[in-house]
Amino acid sequence: MRFNTIIEPFRIKSVEPIRQTTPEERRDALKAAHNNVFLLHSRDVLIDLLTDSGTGAMSVYQWSGMMKGDESYAGARSFDAFEKSVRDITGFGHVIPTHQGRAAEHILFHALVAKGDIVPNNTHFDTTRANVEDVGGVPLDLPIAEGREAQSTNPFKGNMDIAALERTLEKYGDRVPLVMVTVTNNSEGGQPVSLTNIREVSAVCKRFGVPFFIDACRFAENAWLIKSREAQFGHRTPRSIAQEMFSLADGCTMSAKKDGMANIGGFLAMNNGSLAAKCRTRLVLTEGFPTYGGLAGYDLEAIAVGLNEALDEDYLRYRIRSIEYLGEKLLDAGVPIVTPTGGHAIYLDAKQMLPHIPQSEYPAWALSLVLYIEGGIRAAEIGSVMFGRKPDGTERAAPLELVRLAFPRRVYTQSHVDYVAEVVCHVNGIASRVRGVRIVEAPAVLRHFTARMTPAHGQLVMPAGFGLGAMT
């Protein structure tokens, strides 16, 4: 290539204004939201990095596809387009639309998992874990050890521990109804899984006769990271890598809100016809008829187009580079982040940035609040508020205290990223003045969505001149 600048591979045809607010206004908004960024109004947020799920911008081809949506209850033309796109990429014969990823998980586990069964995964996403538990199964995370080391430079920290998988299948083989691999591994920092690792998981599953399913939410980002980091696959297209990933599995669950480039939707796909029939029976009860599965015809059209756009090389290059670019800026400024940068997000390491805040005072949560107050940035805590409460009601600190800056697809430009870098660096500079928080009120499960929090020491950010020495 002649020039080095990687540009956003689109021009902007329709814009959505975002509103500047002052730190004072944001302090008031946060107070009204009980110090929980999930409870903020989006109009009070400048840059929204809460999630990359369903928040992307659709292309003109997706919008025009939506105008063609066939809203027939059964046998809609839009289903045929959707099924064709899914089949072309995954190769799976049975394609079952659902309203989003967790519905596909719910239906699959109801069909396959019995009480006491064990479901290994590199790392379960929280809805996947909850859906395994919902049918009485035991979710078992088997990430490689480096997956949990924030500063490890392993290019495939999302990999599954193959030896641990073998041990699990030897010990509990008859109690394991399926093995799952999540690409990219969202809960361990959006880290990719190598094609070699997927091949190995597939071979082990075949040897033990256990079905292998992929949680495919970010399959295109994973394919790009394989292309760019796994030397022997550098010459392949992301599409051909994705096709091979799926060919190694027996089925997949998918949230089309991520690499489906849609605002809603998902699917379940597989080769086994009798399992598919069982899933469709439940689908009719909970989602809808098998050719729409909880979606409008126009949603199916948007996904049919979006799945292919997600594999476009210019798009993937820009997408992954923009995350890496932010990562480089932060690392240059000494901001602790999970490395290497992965697919959809930057993960700030709050334990390192705020070492003076004990985990019992939720450093990552405090950091998410300060990012909002200082710069209007909304990001999600992935730490002890999200994971610290155990089913028996006891509290145990999470292994990592992270704040995830997740980037919606095709929404923000380089100047937005530059702004985010500037705000994060500023917050890093005042880190010693930031104080912890405590829970005022929270529900027993998934408490991070609605918890009411308050500063543990009167103020979240102490005035300038208030260094660590002034803490006591």
Give me the amino acid identity at 400: L
Residues from 35 through 54 that contact ligand F0G (CB under 6 A): 51, 53
Is 249 buried (19+), middle (13-18) or exposed (0-12) by CB count in 10 A? buried
Residue 52 CB, nearest approach to ligand F0G (Å): 7
Stretch that binds ligand F0G, among 125-133, 149-157, 276-284, 301-309 (CB under 6 A): 125-133
Residue range at the interface with ligand F0G (CB under 6 A); choices 38-46, 123-131, 192-200, 329-337: 123-131
Residue number, 198 or 434, with CB nearest to ligand F0G:
198
197 scored as a contact of ligand F0G (CB under 6 A): no
128 binding ligand F0G? (CB under 6 A): yes
**Which string of b and e fits 367-378 if b means at least 16 CB within 10 Å?**
bbbbbbbbbbbb
| Nearest to ligand F0G of 185, 428 (CB atom) | 185
Distance CA 374, CA 403 (A): 15
Read out DSSP for 199-264? Answer: HHHHHHHHHHT--EEEE-TTHHHHHHHHHHHSGGGTTS-HHHHHHHHHHTSSEEEEETTSTT-SSS
Examine residue 251 and tell whether it contacts ligand F0G (CB under 6 A): no
**Residue 100 is a binding residue for ligand F0G (CB under 6 A):** yes
Q: In the bound complex, what is the minimum distance in angstroms from residue 217's beta carbon to ligand F0G? A: 4
Minimum CB–partner distance for residue 439 and ligand F0G (Å): 22
Question: Using the rule CB under 6 A, is 266 a contact of ligand F0G?
Answer: yes
User: According to CB under 6 A, which residues from 289 to 348 bind ligand F0G?
Assistant: none
Site for ligand F0G in 446-465 (CB under 6 A): none
- Cβ pair 252, 246 in contact under 8 A: yes
- By C-beta, is 125 or 315 nearer to ligand F0G? 125
3-state SS class at 468: helix
Contact (CB, 8 A) for 233 and 244: no
- Written as one letter, the residue type at 15 is V
Q: Is 217 in the site for ligand F0G (CB under 6 A)?
A: yes
| Sole window of 122-130, 138-146, 197-205, 302-310 interacting with ligand F0G (rule: CB under 6 A) | 122-130
Residue 147 Cβ, how far from ligand F0G at the closest point, in Å?
Answer: 14
Nearest-approach distance from CB 250 to ligand F0G, in angstroms: 18
Amino acid at 469: G
Which whole-number Å values give the CA distances from 137 to 113, 174, 383, in the listed order? 6, 13, 24
* Tokens 């002052």, residue located: 22
Look at the alpha carbons of 74, 75, 77, 83 in this order and tell me if their dihedral is positive or negative: positive
- State yes or no: residue 186 binds ligand F0G (CB under 6 A): yes
Please count the residues of this chain forming the interface with ligand F0G, following the rule CB under 6 A: 15
User: How many Å apart are CA 123 and CA 7, to the nearest integer?
Assistant: 33
CB of 257 to ligand F0G, least distance (A): 5
Q: How far is the CB of 130 from ligand F0G (least distance, A)?
A: 10
Angle 458-459-463 (CA atoms, 0-180°, nearest 5)? 130
Instruction: Please tell me whether the peptide bond between 168 and the residue prior to it is cis, using omega within 30 degrees of 0.
Output: no
Rounded distance between C-alpha atoms, residue 248 and residue 251, angstroms = 9
Residue nearest to ligand F0G according to CB distances in the complex: 101
Query: Binding segment for ligand F0G among 34-42, 94-102, 309-317, 318-326 (CB under 6 A)?
Result: 94-102
CA–CA separation, 18 vs 48, rounded Å? 10
101 contributes a contact to ligand F0G by CB under 6 A: yes
Is 249 within 8 Å of 214 (Cβ atoms)? yes
Using CB under 6 A as the binding rule, whether residue 255 contacts ligand F0G is answered as yes
Q: Which of residues 18-37 bind ligand F0G (CB under 6 A)?
A: none
Q: According to the binding rule CB under 6 A, does residue 117 interact with ligand F0G? A: no
Instruction: Kindly indicate which of the ranges 120-128, 288-296, 346-354, 384-392 contains the residues binding ligand F0G, using the contact rule CB under 6 A.
Output: 120-128
Q: Could you say whether residue 121 binds ligand F0G (CB under 6 A)?
A: no
Among 26, 94, 102, 317, binds ligand F0G (CB under 6 A): 102
Residue with tokens 């969505």: 449
The residues binding ligand F0G (CB under 6 A) are 51, 53, 100-102, 125, 127-128, 182, 186, 215, 217, 255, 257, 266
